[in-house]
Amino acid sequence: MRPYLNFVMAVMRNANPTAELEVIRQLPLDKRYVWRVASVLEWGFAHVDDLSVSADRQTLTTEDFAKIMELLAFRPVQFCVFLKALIGEEEMVRTMFQAIGMAKQL
pLDDT of residue 57: 94
Q: What is the DSSP string of 43-104?
A: HHHTT--HHHHHHHHHH--HHHHHHHHHHHTTHHHHHHHHHHHHH-HHHHHHHHHHHHHHHH
The residues spanned by each domain of the chain are 48-105
Cα–Cα dist 66/60, whole Å: 9
pLDDT of residue 66: 97
Contacts for 23 with CB less than 8 Å, ≥ 6 apart: 3, 6
pLDDT of residue 49: 81
Q: Encode pLDDT of 48-72 as tens digits.
A: 788 889 999 999 999 999 999 999 9
Res 20 pLDDT > 80 = yes
**pLDDT mean over 4-16:** 97
